Amino acid sequence: MPEMLKFEHPKDQSNIIKVIGVGGGGSNAVTHMFEQGIKGVDFILCNTDSQALDTSPVPTKVHLGKRELGAGNDPAVGRDAALATVDEFRELLEK
């Protein structure tokens, strides 16, 4: 029988739910959820395309990297942009 993992849950905190959309498809999905009015959830968008971020009503956004118009469907560019922004992203998750 597999060993069960045990987690300690803080008793004085409510659950924290963050839904993160990465890239065009993830951003579209999260924007749709946000527009449905789901409560009790923090929505975050992450994208290399600053124009795409600007068109979404989701208030919390992370512009990945320094390019303005995205990664051009190049996964290596997207990965490098995400790694360059990892500290900002960590701060959002710790809130």
pLDDT tens, residue by residue, 40-65? 899 999 999 989 999 999 999 999 98
The answer regarding whether domain 18-94 maps to CATH 3.90.1150.10 reads no
- Sequence spans of domains, the chain: 18-94
Q: Looking at the DSSP assignment, which residues form a beta bridge with residue 43?
A: 19
CA dihedral 91, 18, 37, 58 (to 10 degrees): 40
* CB-based contacts of 90, cutoff 8 Å, min separation 6: none
What is the C-alpha R_g of the chain? 16
Q: How far apart are the first and last CA of the chain?
A: 37
pLDDT tens, residue by residue, 14-44? 778 999 999 999 999 999 999 999 988 999 9
* Residue 94 confidence class, pLDDT cut points 50, 70, 90: confident
DSSP string, 33-77: HHHTT--S-EEEEEESBHHHHHT---SEEEE-SS-SB--TT-HHH
Q: In this structure, what token pair is assigned to residue 65?
A: 């990297």
- Looking at residue 1, what is its pLDDT? 55
Q: What pTM was estimated for this model as a whole?
A: 0.77
